[in-house]
Chains A and B, each alone.
Chain A
C-alpha cells in the first residue's frame, strides 16, 4: 500500500485540486457554466466561490480563508447546482463541467439564515465585551442576514474555562464556531499541529494534546491562528491595563520601542488602505498617549546585523579556516521568537546553528536598562520597557527567564499592533491625522536595513548590505542596483541565492580583533536561503537533515510567520496575501526613501560601540548583553 509520508492527508483534509491546464487556451482548458442564468467561462477546476468572486457575486463564507486549505464545514457558502439533490459548498466545488449554479434561491437563503442562527445559538458571549467587536465575521454575517433575534435560542452560560496559560495566545472556546481555521493554520499552514478537533457531535471542540494548557504544548506562539480566527475565540495576551498603569504612574519612566512592521499596518486599524506607513504619525500618537520616550527598534535591528553578521564571519572563519568542527554552519537567524521556539521543539539538535545574537527587541531591552539608564541617570528599576511588535511570540520571548541580562526584566511588555491601535483609540486619537514627529535619540536613528527586517528576506538583505561592504570594501550598490538585494525578496516560501565574492578589501577596524584578512573568502560563493512560515522551515530543516542543498548554505533567514513579521500574529485582522504584499511594499518604499540604508553606517550604533562596547561586536560585554542561549525543548513535554 501507499506510504503515508507521500500522501499525508492532514486532519483538516487537503482540498481537491483539479490541476489547471498550463495554458487555459488549450481545448478543455476552460469550462463555461451558467451562473445565475449568465454564461461565464472560467479555467477548469475553478471553485464556484472563486467563479462568483470573479463575477461580483457575493457568497457569504466563514470557514473559508484564502491562506488555508478548504474545509467545507460551515456550509454558509452553499449554492444550488442544477441536478444535484443537495446544496453544494461553493468553496469546495471545483467546476469541471458546464453546470448551472444558482446563488440566491429561497432554499439557499433559508439554509444560510438557518446556519447563522445555529452558530449564534451556540456562541457564548456578548459583542460589546469582545475584542473583535466590529471586526468579527460572525457578527458581520448576522448583520448581513438581518438577524434580529435568537431564532434557536442562545447559550446563557459559558461551557469552557478560558485558557490564559500562554504568554501569547488566549483561547476562549465559548466563542469558537468550529470553523477549524485555527486547526488548519496550525497543521497545514504552519505544520506545528497544536490544535485539533476532539470529541464528537455536540461535544466537538478544538483542543490541544490531552487538553493541556497552551503553555504546556508545543505551541510556538506565532499567533497565526489569532489572525485567522473569525471570532474572538483566540486573542493575544493583552498587557494594555498594565501599560496604562505604568504610564499613569509619575514615578515610572515608560519607554516604547517600535518594530518596523506595525507602522506599515497600523493604519488598517483606523480604516485606512493596507500598504500605507504611519511611522511619524505613530510616534506623535505614542507621545500623546504618554510614553516618555519613543524609540525605533530598527536601531537594534542595525545592531543585530553588526552582531549577527560578525558572528557569521567568525563562524565561517572558524569552520572554514580553522577547521573547527564544533562550529555549526549554516547559521540560522534568531530574530523570530516563533521560529526559535519551533526549532527548540522540533529540531533541538540544531540549537547550535541558531545565531546567539538576541532579537532586536531583546537587545533593545538589555540596552535600555543599562546603557540608556546610565547615560540618562535613570534608575533602571523605574524604567518600564514596552515593545511594540507585530508579534504574539514576542510576549513569550520577553518572558523567557534568561532575558534578564540587564539585571532586570529586559523588556517588560510586548504590545501588538492591534493592542496599540486600541490604546490610541482609547486616548481619543485618530492616528492618520496626527502631526508627524521623529523618534527620540539616542535610539531614534536607524537604517533602512533595520526597517526591512519586517519583510521576509529583510534580515538577509540587511546582512548582505553590511557583510558585502565589510568584506569587499566597496559599495553594495556596485553589486545590487539601488542597494535592493532582489534575489532574497518576494513571497516565495523558500528562496535560495548564491552570491559570489569576487574581490576583497582590507579588514575594517571594527573587525580587526577577529579576523586577520579576507583572503579566505576571496572567490568563494556565499550561499544563503530565506524561509518564512514554519511549514517551509520544516521543508528546509528536513533537507538539511538529509544533507541536501540547504545543508551547504552559510546563512539562512527563518521567520515563523508567512510573509515575515509584517504577517505576524499581532498584526491587524484580517490578513491575506494581498494585504501582506501591500505591507511589504510600504516597508520597501520607506527603505528607499531613506538616505541611511546600511546598518554599519548607522552612526548611533557606531557610537554605542565606542561608548559602551569598546571591544566591538561579539566581544565579551556584547556577549553578556546582546547574546543569549536556547533551550532544548523537544516535542514531548512532561
Chain B
C-alpha cells in the first residue's frame, strides 16, 4: 500500500488554503454569486463521470423541497484510487468547508459523508475534526453569525460494496436498503436521499470548490485544458519507482506522467481503474482529460513482465463479484466475459466466440442499469483489442494453459 506521504503537490488542490476561509467568503456572497463562480470555473465532477458541478448544484438550489441534502461521496472504491484518503486525512478543511458552502448554496441543512467501510479507521479523526468545527461555529446553528444558516455534517459508514460509489446505490444504502442503483430519471438532484433533492459530490470535487470560492473560477480555469479545467489528483500505482498521489494539471500526457513517476519499460497503463480503459504503448501520447483519456484518478502501470490476460482476469473477477446482481446485462454478462477469459487461458476458444463476447460487452455498455455494468466491459474490450498479439499468441505458445 502506498502511504499518504508519497505525493506530489500541484498548483490547485494542494495550493495554500486557510481553514474556514471558503465558508467566510461564501457567507459574504450571494448564492447566485457562488453558483456563478462555479460555472465560471467549469469544474466537473471528479468521481469519473464528469458532470458539471455548477449544474448539479443549480438544480438542487432551484428545487423547492422541505429538506435538501449534500452528500460527500467518500466511497473511494475504484481499484487503484486512494487520493480521497489523502484529502480526508490531511486536508479535511477543504472537503468540509466546501460542504458548508454547499449547504449554504443549496439550502441544505444536512451534509453526510458517505465513508467507505474500509476507511472506518479515519472516522474518529474526522468526527473530532467536525467537533472542532462546531466549536468554532463553522458548523451548527447560525454559522459564523449568519442568522438562520444552520448546517451540520454527519458521517455514514458504507458496508464495502463497490456499487455503492454509484450515487443512487449510495443513497439506497444510506436509506438502509440493498446497495442497488435506482432507475434514472429521476436523478438525485430531484429525488435523492429520502426522496429529497440531493447533491452527491466526490471528495475531490468538494476540495476544488473550496479553492474556487476563495480564489475565483477564473483562477481555477487557468489550470488544465479548455474542456478540463483545474487539476486532477491521480493515484499512481503499479510498476514505477514513485507511486503515490500526484496532483497534475489536466492535459498531462501519459508519457510525461510515466517519466515523472519513474516508470520504465511500461507496456500498459490502465486509466480510470478497473472500469477504465487500458492504453498500450502506441497511445502514450494521449492526454489525461475528460475529452481524451478520462479518469477518476486511478492510474495503474504495467511493465513488460506483466501478463495482460491475468490483469484482465483480475478486473473481471472483481466485476463478477461486485455487480449488485439486479440487472441482467451486468449480473450475467460479466460472468460470460470472465468465462471467455478462462477459455482463452485454456486455449479453448474461437475468435467468433470472442467477437460475440465483445458484442455482448457493447450491449452491456448501453443496456446495463448503472455505471458499473456500463463500464465493466471497457477493460475487456480495450485489453483484448490493444494486446491481442500478446494474448492470443501467448495462448498459441501455451503460456496461459
Contacts and interface: CB of A to CB of B under 8 A. Distances in A.
B328 A119 contact: yes
Contacts of A110: 359, 362-363
A111 B172 CA distance: 27
Nearest to A120: B332
Given A2-B196, A89-B369, A201 B322 contact: yes
A282 to B, nearest CB: 40
A201 B67 CA distance: 34
Interface string B309-337: 00000000001111111111101111110
A151 B366 contact: no
Interface residues of A, number: 48
Contacts of A78: 366-367
Interface stretch (A66-74, A270-278, A462-470): A66-74
Given A16-B185, A178-B331, A201-B331, A75 B195 contact: no
A72 B322 CA distance: 19
Contact of B327 (A2, A74, A107, A152): A74
B175 A201 contact: no
Contacts of B363: 110-111, 114-115
Nearest to A85: B366
Given A16-B186, A89-B183, A111 B328 contact: no
Contacts of A191: none
Contacts of B177: 9, 11, 13
**Which of the listed residues B172, B194, B339, B367 has the most CB atoms from chain A within 10 Å of its own CB?**
B367
A114 B175 CA distance: 33
Interface string A177-189: 1101000000000
Contacts of B374: 86
Interface in B196-227: 196
A118 B369 contact: no
A212 B352 CA distance: 44
A321 to B, nearest CB: 50
Interface string B27-47: 000000000000000000000
A11 B369 contact: no
Contact of A115 (B182, B324, B359, B367): B367
Contacts, number: 137
A204 B325 contact: yes
B161 interface: yes
A200 B367 contact: no
A115 B336 CA distance: 12
A9 B175 contact: yes
A198 to B, nearest CB: 9
A87 interface: yes
B328 A94 contact: no
B281 interface: no
A178 B325 contact: yes
A86 B326 contact: no
B7 interface: no
Contacts of B183: 13, 15-16, 70, 72, 89, 92-93
B133 interface: no
Given A75-B329, A178-B331, A114 B185 contact: no
Contacts of A139: none
A551 interface: no
A202 interface: yes
Interface string A1-42: 110100101010101100000000000000000000000000
A204 B363 CA distance: 21
B237 interface: no
B360 interface: yes
B367 A75 contact: yes
Contacts of B241: none
Contacts of B175: 4, 9
Contact of B360 (A71, A87, A152, A202): A152
Nearest to B180: A13
Interface string A54-87: 0000000000000000111111101000000111
Nearest to B191: A16
Given A2-B67, A110-B359, A74 B182 contact: no
Contacts of A74: 327-328
Contacts of A11: 177-178
B242 interface: no
A200 B366 contact: no
Contacts of A122: 332
Nearest to A93: B185
B332 A197 contact: no
A202 B320 contact: yes
A395 B31 CA distance: 65
A89 B320 CA distance: 22
B326 A197 contact: yes
Interface in B159-173: 161, 172
A11 B180 CA distance: 9
A422 interface: no
A122 B368 CA distance: 17
A204 B356 contact: no
A589 interface: no
A273 B319 CA distance: 47
B340 to A, nearest CB: 10
A199 interface: yes
**Which of the listed residues B322, B332, B335 has the most CB atoms from chain A within 10 Å of its own CB?**
B332
A272 to B, nearest CB: 34
Interface in A99-137: 107, 110-111, 114-115, 118-119, 121-122
A93 B178 CA distance: 22
B163 to A, nearest CB: 8
Contacts of B83: none
B56 interface: no
A202 B323 contact: yes
Contacts of B339: 153
Interface in B331-375: 331-336, 339, 356, 359-360, 362-363, 365-369, 374
Contacts of B67: 1-2
A325 interface: no
Given A73-B328, A153-B339, 20 more contacts: A2-B196, A4-B175, A4-B176, A7-B195, A9-B175, A11-B177, A72-B327, A73-B369, A96-B185, A107-B366, A111-B367, A118-B328, A118-B360, A121-B336, A122-B332, A201-B331, A201-B334, A202-B334, A204-B325, A204-B326
19 contacts: A1-B67, A9-B172, A9-B175, A9-B177, A13-B172, A13-B183, A73-B326, A73-B328, A73-B369, A86-B367, A121-B336, A178-B325, A197-B178, A200-B161, A201-B321, A201-B331, A202-B323, A202-B332, A202-B334
List the 5 shortest-distance A-B pairs measured between CB atoms, nearest first.
A204-B325, A92-B183, A118-B332, A2-B194, A201-B323
